[in-house]
Structure 1
């Protein structure tokens, strides 16, 4: 949920719900530069981009499955086809 909430804040509050903030990639880089020294590598540019993509791919928090790991979600957000992604989610859930 933490990764989802970080992605939500970046997308909704910082980007105003738009695909990109007016100031582009500077936003994530600036957040990373501010937070990474204080909180560690979990706030790298790449990690923040994944958080934002995670929220955009799965915008409904209640739809997230607790039995799926962050590693699996990182794979799933790269699958652009919704039906394929749903198939893999169902298989991963069914087969633990």
Structure 2
């Protein structure tokens, strides 16, 4: 299983949480859910739909699937085995998923 966390670290406020947010993803949604549960993320926080709705979906999950995490969870994810990647590498992962969709792979 490979789980990735990018270095986006954009400042934002979500509810009462203010922090710098990054994206946690994995090779598959199932792998991501398993890992997220291990570091205490709620399944309800999973983002599986594209904001614009024009994105291809594999098994009814947008190719941009991820959890948003604040810096403390990002650090925890890395300590738990997530691979720290650059935001450009995250873009490459999404592009590869999009290509899988076009190729008909599931």
Question: Given the two structures, how large is their TM-score scaled by the length of structure 2?
Answer: 0.32
Larger strand share, 1 or 2: 2
Question: Given the two structures, how large is their TM-score scaled by the length of structure 1?
Answer: 0.35
Higher relative contact order structure (alpha carbons within 8 Å, sequence separation ≥ 6) = 2
Larger helix share, 1 or 2: 1
Q: Which has the larger radius of gyration?
A: 1
